[in-house]
């Protein structure tokens, strides 16, 4: 299965972006149902051809037990071909996002980084991120829980022009990297 062209480009791209993940406190980890020997040969081939050393571990899940636990193998399709998933798992072991890619479409590293930073911004500053949110952009305020909070939100929106209604208003950007909101 390895030595596939799409996966090779992804391994290189992930290695090039590894510092960005580490700056955000994230650790990259690869998983496949191929053998450790296959991984070694593949990683060595990438190094020999490009000079790039893959900077994160790749787990050999030969019997697919880990892949099955995470829903990466669909027995209706194959007993061994994995689904090309990306999982963003927080420091408490909670899966925050799952991206599923077909065999023919490469992963988008900037989008994976954006999702990671969005999850961190929500954790740090509360609220939610709107469509097309980018780091350091305004976030959606939590919805009011009481009538008094609703009335205060309406006044705030009228004063600051920061929303379209009590249920959708924005708060200033949340800067996760600089630790300010």
Does residue 18 share a domain with residue 53? yes
For residue 151, give the 3-state DSSP assignment. Answer: helix
Number of domains composing the chain:
2
Quick one: pLDDT at residue 120?
Answer: 95
pLDDT higher at 136 or 26? 26
**Is the pTM of the predicted complex or chain greater than 0.75?**
yes
Quick one: pLDDT at residue 102?
Answer: 87
Quick one: pLDDT at residue 1?
Answer: 47
The CA distances from residue 163 to 17, 50, 151, 153, in Å, are 35, 50, 14, 9
Does residue 52 share a domain with residue 97? yes
Does residue 160 share a domain with residue 81? no
Q: Quick check: 77 pLDDT over 70?
A: no
Quick one: pLDDT at residue 178?
Answer: 55
Return the ∠ at Cα 62 (arms to 25 and 94), rounded to 5°. Answer: 30
Residue 179 lies in a domain: no
**Helix H or strand E segment including 170:** strand 168-171
pLDDT digits (tens, 9 = 90+) for 42-62: 999 999 999 999 999 999 999
Quick one: pLDDT at residue 2?
Answer: 60
Does residue 144 share a domain with residue 59? no
Residue 83 lies in a domain: yes
Q: Quick check: 179 pLDDT over 80?
A: no
Which sequence positions are flagged as catalytic?
A: 7
Residue 116 lies in a domain: no
Considering all CA atoms of the chain, what is the largest pairwise distance in Å, rounded to the nearest integer?
65
Does residue 49 share a domain with residue 20? yes
Residue 44 lies in a domain: yes
C-alpha torsion angle, residues 160, 164, 165, 170 (rounded to 10): -60
Residue 90 lies in a domain: yes
**Helix H or strand E segment including 30:** strand 30-32
Quick one: pLDDT at residue 180?
Answer: 42
> Distance between CA atoms of 43 and 8, rounded to whole angstroms?
9
Does residue 98 share a domain with residue 10? yes
Quick one: pLDDT at residue 73?
Answer: 75
Does residue 84 share a domain with residue 10? yes
Contact present, 106 and 10 (Cβ < 8 Å):
yes
Quick one: pLDDT at residue 75?
Answer: 62
Quick one: pLDDT at residue 32?
Answer: 87
**Structural domain span for residue 73:** 5-107
Does residue 83 share a domain with residue 22? yes
Contact present, 109 and 99 (Cβ < 8 Å):
no
Quick one: pLDDT at residue 79?
Answer: 54
What single string gives the DSSP state of each residue in 33-77? SS-HHHHHHHHHHHHHHH-PPP-S-EEE-TT-HHHHHTT-B-TTT
Does residue 130 share a domain with residue 103? no
Quick one: pLDDT at residue 57?
Answer: 96
Does residue 150 share a domain with residue 62? no
């Amino acid at each position: 299965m390895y030595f596939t062209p799409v996966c090779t480009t992804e391994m290189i791209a992930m290695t090039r972006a590894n510092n960005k993940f580490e700056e955000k406190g994230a650790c990259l980890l690869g998983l496949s149902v191929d053998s450790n020997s296959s991984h070694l040969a593949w990683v060595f081939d990438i190094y020999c051809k490009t000079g790039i050393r893959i900077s994160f571990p790749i787990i050999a899940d030969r019997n697919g037990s880990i892949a099955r636990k995470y829903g990466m193998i669909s027995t209706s399709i194959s007993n061994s071909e994995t689904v090309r998933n990306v999982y963003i798992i927080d420091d408490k072991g909670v899966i925050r996002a799952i991206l599923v890619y077909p065999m023919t479409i490469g992963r988008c590293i900037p989008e994976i980084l954006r999702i990671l930073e969005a999850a961190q911004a929500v954790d740090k500053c509360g609220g939610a991120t709107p469509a097309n949110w980018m780091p350091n952009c305004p976030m959606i305020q939590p919805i009011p829980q009481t009538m008094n909070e609703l009335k205060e939100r309406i006044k705030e929106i009228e004063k600051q022009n920061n929303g379209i209604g009590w249920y959708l208003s924005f708060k200033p950007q949340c800067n996760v990297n600089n630790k300010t909101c």
